[in-house]
């Protein structure tokens, strides 16, 4: 049996990444990795579904125990990928998606060269700001911090294997699934 593909997806927040991955998940079986974070839960977020919510101390223990495949600090909080579930799903032949920011993605690329890195682009930075404002879960100050972080992140798209522009959802899902098929063929071709 082939091992699953490790797919890293990064997008500046507000790119509609969640919607895109949910739609893609209806057409392709993925295991979505649940990250650990020190950020406070947003309304509606559930422990073990959206994230594993940790204190800084608990998070640092996870790092020390080598329990994370990668981790990074983003806008003042730690985020990291628990290693064991990812390895288990891949060994079972399931494709795994990590929705992580760029510093973490670069760590994964180093550690797992066979991983496929996909960057989701917003149609424009203005669209991004509007989407964050519409979501209404962050203060104006945090939105501006996130837009700034996004602008820096956009420059990182060049380090990814593929980019997908999330303008029209159906087209973006087609593009995303196409990228995964292309990556699978590439991995098979290497064997
Ligand atoms: P949010 O606070 O909006 O849920 O996430 C903020 C950023 O952290 C997003 O870019 C998200 O993809 C990223 N992120 C979520 N989980 C992880 C993780 O496990 N590792 C890393 N490096 N970034 C993550």
Using the mean position of ligand 1's atoms as its centre, give its distance from the Cα of residue 55 in Å: 16
Global pTM reads 0.89
Q: Which residues contact 144 (CB under 8 A, 6 or more apart)?
A: none
d(CA 12, CA 81): 18
Domain containing 122 — which CATH number? Answer: 3.40.50.300
Residue 1 lies in a domain: no
For tokens 């990795």, what's the residue? 33
Residue 66 lies in a domain: yes
Ligand 1 contact via 80 beta carbon (within 6 Å):
yes
Ligand 1 contact via 117 beta carbon (within 6 Å):
no
Residue 36 lies in a domain: yes
pLDDT at 191: 65
d(CA 118, CA 179): 8
Residue 86 lies in a domain: yes
Residue 90 lies in a domain: yes
Output phi, psi for 186, to 5 deg: -65, -45
| Number of neighbouring beta carbons within 10 Å of residue 114 | 13
Ligand 1 contact via 95 beta carbon (within 6 Å):
no
Residue 63 lies in a domain: yes
Residue 174 lies in a domain: yes
Q: Going residue by residue through the chain (191 aa), what tens digit of pLDDT does each one get? A: 789 999 999 987 767 888 999 999 999 999 999 999 999 999 999 999 999 999 999 999 999 999 999 999 998 999 999 999 999 999 999 999 999 999 999 999 999 999 999 999 888 888 888 888 988 888 899 899 888 888 887 888 999 999 999 889 999 999 999 999 999 998 888 76
Angle at 23 between CA 9 and CA 80, to 5 degrees: 30
Ligand 1 contact via 99 beta carbon (within 6 Å):
yes
Range of the domain at 77: 6-190
**How many domains in the chain?**
1
Q: Residue 157 carries which DSSP code?
A: G
d(CA 167, CA 180): 19
Residue 74 lies in a domain: yes
């Amino acid at each position: 049996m082939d091992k699953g593909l490790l797919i890293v997806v990064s997008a500046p927040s507000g790119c509609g990444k969640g919607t895109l991955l949910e739609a893609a998940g209806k057409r392709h079986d993925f295991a979505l990795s649940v990250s650990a974070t020190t950020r406070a839960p947003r309304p509606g977020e559930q422990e073990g579904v959206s994230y594993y919510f940790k204190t800084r101390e608990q998070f640092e223990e996870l790092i020390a125990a080598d329990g994370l495949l990668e981790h990074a600090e983003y806008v003042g909080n730690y985020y990291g990928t628990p290693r064991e579930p990812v390895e288990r799903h891949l060994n079972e032949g399931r494709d795994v998606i990590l929705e992580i920011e760029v510093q973490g993605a670069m760590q994964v690329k180093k550690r797992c060269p066979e991983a496929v890195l996909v960057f989701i682009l917003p149609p424009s930075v203005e669209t991004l700001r509007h989407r964050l404002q519409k979501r209404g879960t962050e203060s104006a100050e945090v939105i501006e911090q996130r837009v700034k972080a996004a602008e820096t992140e956009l420059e990182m798209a060049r380090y990814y294997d593929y980019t997908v522009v999330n303008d029209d959802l159906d087209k973006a899902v087609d593009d995303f699934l196409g990228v995964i098929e292309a990556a699978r063929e590439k991995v098979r071709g290497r064997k």
